[in-house]
Structure 1
């Protein structure tokens, strides 16, 4: 409790830790539920994966780093050997879903909109993390859905949370691992290595060429990492700062558009699992790369637009 009572720690950090604890508890529930599910063909591996994940999420702030690291290693072992499976699921029938839609109508989109609005409100109007805003939005959305139908009990949301976690499986860990990878790359000096390579390609002082290389590099590196936020740190150190910002370009404009260039790379890679692979699992699509194939043309058009935009405004 000393963490939550410490006046030196911001309210945002305390609330964010509460969010992680809730996420961890839900994930531990997923592990226990699958352990008790005799219809799950890999219930022990599934239990180990979700429970280890949940402990790190809920208690990671207080666990020694070596313990957290060990749990992460333990967690990925069943995933590597494909021993994380979906157990018995209770899915609403199409007839039930149709009746609920006829009853609720387009109001069904209000809870989803609430989460986005709350996230934006917290980001713009408070000093509290936008992720806390999302959590508050989720709570409001739960209350709205309970008001829509008496069938929506607290247990309903807990079971559906587990169902969607199981549908995504180990892929749900990819964004966190890739985000950590960006920090590892930065600490390892990958940006400096890229800078040395690019210095022989971009003529000194030629900001236009620097912008083009920077933008394309953001697309490629994001496609490799699956995370534009991790890629931009490395690419800014290696290309953005020495080839563009050092010659007087506006860092706000360059940083903003470079990140958008990275998002074009997100559209092209299965490494961005939460965007391109999770929908495939949720919608049970036959083509694993169906989402990416439908985004390729948009991504290529947008990267050209972003490059022109960056050159014009830098």
Structure 2
């Protein structure tokens, strides 16, 4: 059975290989700290659920220290022969996009139909967290599809992927950390604290002002957290539900949908969303690491303004 634990093990083994390659790279001036960083990541995936919480906390602190002190550096990956990438791109054409399309198609297929694939009581996919299982399975199939399409051995492809991992660097951690941050903040009572501040500082009886506070709060908190999914439970619990839904009778579904879109506007304007904004700049080798953000800011502000207007016009249609 393909379970989430199996996906974690495969990811851990891949990170362990990255650590091993980094440790053996004499061209990397920080090869040992870099190798330690990826080794700790591999440890987290492989046995993190069996380690005491305090130990995993120490691992997180060590990862932050290694990244913050500049211990994670890019090494040297054996370059392809001159002209080979261009020649291969010409030969394959648009077929190069097929492995990338495998990921969304297989993920959606597993989510929709994976629970029914099996024989008797045996099921191919685990029932718990099937979305993550589908995503992990699709990434593995995309790897084999890319290797088959380009006639490259799978192990060689894994080795060359180290260049991409090095280019992303410590920013690879941000999606993992930010995904848990929203629930941690919500459990810590940040939403209630935000609601209390809003009641003291804004006229909560004014619908437009509360809508403005909710939309801007989603965008601003997303900029701080780097992830709209992390900001959503905090701002919705603090402003959306108590002030808009319960206070003014707003429709919760439309409020939440437009609120998430407002949060995405913040994603476009923050370096904290490194996987969206900093990683593309690094992969394209742009001189300005914030070039992507600078280009996106006008669009983000325009969409945010439109979201505020739409929210005010739509969410109170059934309110008294």
**TM-score normalized by the length of structure 2:** 0.88
Question: What residue number does 1:60 align with?
Answer: 48
**Distance across 2 between alignment mates of 1:242 and 1:276:** 33
Aligned pairs for 1:1-314 (under 5 A) are: 15-93=3-81, 95-126=83-114, 129-150=130-151, 152-246=152-246, 247-314=248-315
Deviation digits for residues 150-207 of structure 1 (CA, Å, limit 9, x no counterpart) = 2x11112211332211111111112222333323322222211111111134434443
Shift of 1:223: 0.5
SS in 2 for 1:295: helix
Kindly indicate whether the alpha-carbon contact (under 8 Å) linking 1:122 and 1:129 is maintained by their aligned counterparts in 2. yes
After TM superposition, the runs of 4+ consecutive aligned structure 1 residues lying more than 6 A away are none
Deviation digits for residues 40-60 of structure 1 (CA, Å, limit 9, x no counterpart) = 111110111110011012222
Kindly indicate whether the alpha-carbon contact (under 8 Å) linking 1:29 and 1:162 is maintained by their aligned counterparts in 2. no
**Distance across 1 between alignment mates of 2:241 and 2:22:** 49
Kindly indicate whether the alpha-carbon contact (under 8 Å) linking 1:202 and 1:243 is maintained by their aligned counterparts in 2. no
**TM-score normalized by the length of structure 1:** 0.89
Question: What residue number does 1:3 align with?
Answer: none
Shift of 1:148: 2.0
Name the stretch that deviates more: 116-125 or 282-291. Answer: 116-125
SS in 2 for 1:244: helix
Which structure 1 segments of 5+ residues have no match?
A: 1-10
Distance change >3 Å, CA 106–CA 176, structure 1 → 2:
same
